[in-house]
């Protein structure tokens, strides 16, 4: 039997869970019809879709071996077992959409929200550094305790090859805490009175991008940047930095800023040396494939069945899927360029 708050409440819905997004759209359209100031349902739906696309784009990049093979950190392929376990990786986006909708319903905004407020962005940054970062660090360390790790956090660490989807692969309880972490700067700036739409979209998408970056399994940050600005390495983590946390679980707990690992004495001493090695390896050694599998397309839609397009779809038997047809023009243009 699973421990409390391990499973997601809508697991029984399977793919029908996406109908919940339809409720957001309906609420947003109704708000437009009623000529309300802000259609929050539409905003929440749009940002949720953009988040899904962001994680998909980062996962696709990780699987483009023709671009990434020389800077990959874990040189293994993603197996079917990992794909199956991470199938519902996007549950947390739906969770945060529901939480945001409930918050807007309980605490409705008065008047039209500003498009941009520079004070709010500064306040959100301060709240992130002062509250979100240390809060995540502390909670993360607790989840590496015997009981919480065995019953909850081990699920996240069960993926042998980190990818962007892995960042979302965790239990319901863990993502409840992560929702608080990501919500503090946004809610705080609105409580102060300086919230804005750009703050919401910008902070959430930057937060997601950095989560994807940590699980990218490809080192893309040049080590020269840290040589030129040494203190910067304490301000932003790298794919190598977070991969060490997955390899040696008692170090590198931070959310995005290694400064908190340095303050907590949990910073892995190999972080910078390994980062330099992983980024520099392509400068002096071109990795040669062990073998080459020459594939040919059956039809135009079969080209979209490549693992780097959508790894979940590629793990299933091939057939022409209607929802992939809008991407055929792009596939055709790529074919012409080859």
Q: Which of 206, 47, 235 is nearest to 124 (CA)?
A: 206
Number of H helices, E strands in the chain: 17, 0
Model pTM?
0.92
DSSP for residue 256: S
DSSP for residue 72: B
**In this structure, are residues 152 and 174 in contact, taking their beta carbons and an 8 Å threshold?**
yes
Backbone angles phi, psi at 167, to 5 degrees: -60, -30
Residue 147: enclosing H or E segment and its boundaries?
helix 146-148
Domain boundaries, the chain: 11-221, 300-337
What does the alpha-carbon distance between residue 45 and residue 36 come to, in Å, rounded to a whole number?
A: 17
What does the alpha-carbon distance between residue 249 and residue 306 come to, in Å, rounded to a whole number?
A: 33
Angle, nearest 10°, between helix axes 91-106 and 19-33?
A: 30
Which pLDDT tens digits describe the chain residue by residue (338 residues)? 789 999 999 999 988 999 999 998 888 888 777 766 668 889 999 999 999 999 999 999 999 888 888 889 998 889 999 999 999 999 999 999 999 999 988 887 767 788 999 999 999 999 999 999 999 999 999 999 999 999 999 999 999 999 999 999 999 999 999 999 999 999 999 999 999 999 999 999 999 999 999 999 999 999 999 999 999 999 999 999 999 999 988 999 999 999 999 999 999 999 999 999 988 865 555 666 676 766 665 667 777 888 888 888 888 888 878 888 888 887 777 777 76
Q: What sign has the CA pseudo-torsion 198, 200, 201, 205?
A: positive
């Amino acid at each position: 039997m699973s421990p409390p708050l391990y499973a997601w409440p809508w697991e029984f819905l399977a793919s029908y869970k996406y109908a919940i997004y339809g409720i957001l759209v309906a609420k947003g359209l109704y708000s437009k019809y009623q000529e309300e100031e802000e259609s929050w349902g539409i905003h929440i739906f749009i940002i949720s879709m953009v988040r899904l696309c962001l994680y998909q784009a980062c996962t696709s990049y990780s699987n483009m071996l023709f671009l990434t093979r020389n800077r990959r950190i874990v040189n293994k392929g993603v197996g079917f077992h990992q794909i199956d376990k991470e199938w519902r990786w996007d549950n947390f986006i739906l969770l945060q959409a529901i939480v945001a909708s409930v918050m807007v319903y309980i605490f409705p905004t008065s008047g039209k929200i500003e498009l941009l407020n520079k004070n709010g962005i500064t306040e959100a940054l301060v709240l992130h550094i002062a509250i979100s970062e240390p809060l995540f660090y502390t909670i993360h360390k607790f989840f590496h305790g015997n009981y919480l790790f065995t019953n909850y956090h081990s699920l996240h660490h069960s993926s042998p090859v980190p990818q962007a989807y892995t960042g979302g692969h965790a239990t319901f309880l863990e993502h409840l805490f992560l929702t608080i972490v990501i919500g503090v700067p946004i809610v705080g700036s609105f409580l102060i009175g300086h919230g804005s739409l750009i703050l919401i979209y910008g902070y959430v998408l930057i937060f997601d991008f950095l989560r994807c970056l940590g699980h990218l399994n490809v080192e893309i940050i040049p080590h020269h940047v840290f040589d030129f600005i040494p203190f910067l390495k304490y301000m932003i983590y790298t794919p190598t930095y977070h991969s060490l946390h997955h390899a040696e679980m008692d170090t590198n707990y931070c959310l995005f800023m290694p400064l908190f690992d340095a303050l907590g004495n949990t910073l892995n001493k190999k972080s910078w040396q390994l980062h330099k090695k992983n980024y520099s390896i392509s400068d002096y050694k071109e990795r040669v494939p062990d073998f080459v599998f020459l594939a040919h397309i059956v039809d135009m839609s079969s080209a979209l069945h490549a693992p780097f397009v959508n790894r979940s779809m590629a793990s299933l038997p091939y057939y022409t899927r209607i929802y992939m047809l809008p991407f055929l023009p792009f596939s055709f243009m790529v074919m012409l360029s080859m």
